[in-house]
């Protein structure tokens, strides 16, 4: 039979997993609320990183995150619904660090910066993240890495057009 100490550790771990699930969902809700920086930035550590890949880049620190969320993200993604699916969350034994993986299924209206035309899009990918529990007891993202598997116009689908070109530089350029 487990000791009270063992049971308390298990309960803390389950509470941590639930707290991390909540910030994953809040991140999606903030994205869907026009990249609401008042919602999204507090989810990151001060030196937090968002690595969006697929031409969107890597942003380190809250000010760089703010610039991305209020700039390119908001200018191109005009409307979205993020479905954050099937999270797998591993909390370290120390209860201070964690790793989370989940799937993204997103529908969005995206504006091509060259033509200013809106395109209905399907977006799918995976998120891989590292989190820390800070001194205030809140879990925050240390780093989020998004790997987009497809970003396809609704009119064409992911078979004909797995990655729509929005005129953005590719990673590494």
As a whole-number percent, the residues of the chain with pLDDT over 70 amount to: 96
Q: Is 165 contained in some domain? A: no
Q: Is 123 contained in some domain? A: yes
CA 138/CA 132 separation, integer angstroms: 8
pLDDT for 172 beyond 60: no
Q: Mean pLDDT of all residues in the chain?
A: 93
**Residue found by looking up tokens 């063992």 in the block:** 6
pLDDT tens per residue across span 66-94 = 999 999 888 899 999 999 999 999 999 99
Q: What is the domain extent for residue 17?
A: 4-160
The torsion angle over the Cα atoms of residues 22, 25, 30 and 32, rounded to 10 degrees, is -160
CA 74/CA 104 separation, integer angstroms: 18
CATH of the domain at 108: 3.10.450.50
């Amino acid at each position: 039979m487990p000791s009270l100490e063992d049971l308390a550790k298990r309960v803390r771990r389950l509470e941590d997993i639930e707290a991390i699930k909540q910030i994953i969902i809040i991140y999606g809700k903030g994205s869907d609320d026009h990249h609401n920086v008042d919602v999204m930035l507090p989810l990151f550590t001060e030196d937090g990183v968002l690595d969006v890949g697929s031409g969107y880049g890597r942003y380190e620190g809250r000010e760089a995150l703010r610039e991305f969320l209020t700039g390119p993200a908001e200018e191109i993604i005009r409307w979205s619904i993020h479905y954050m699916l099937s999270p797998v969350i591993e909390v370290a034994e120390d209860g201070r660090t964690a790793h989370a993986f989940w799937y993204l299924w997103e529908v969005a209206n995206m504006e091509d910066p060259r033509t200013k035309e809106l395109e209905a899009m399907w977006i799918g990918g995976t998120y891989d993240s590292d989190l820390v529990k800070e001194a205030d007891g809140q879990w925050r993202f240390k780093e989020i890495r998004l790997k987009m598997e497809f970003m396809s116009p609704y009119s064409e689908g992911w078979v004909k057009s797995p990655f729509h070109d929005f005129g953005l530089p590719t990673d590494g350029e």
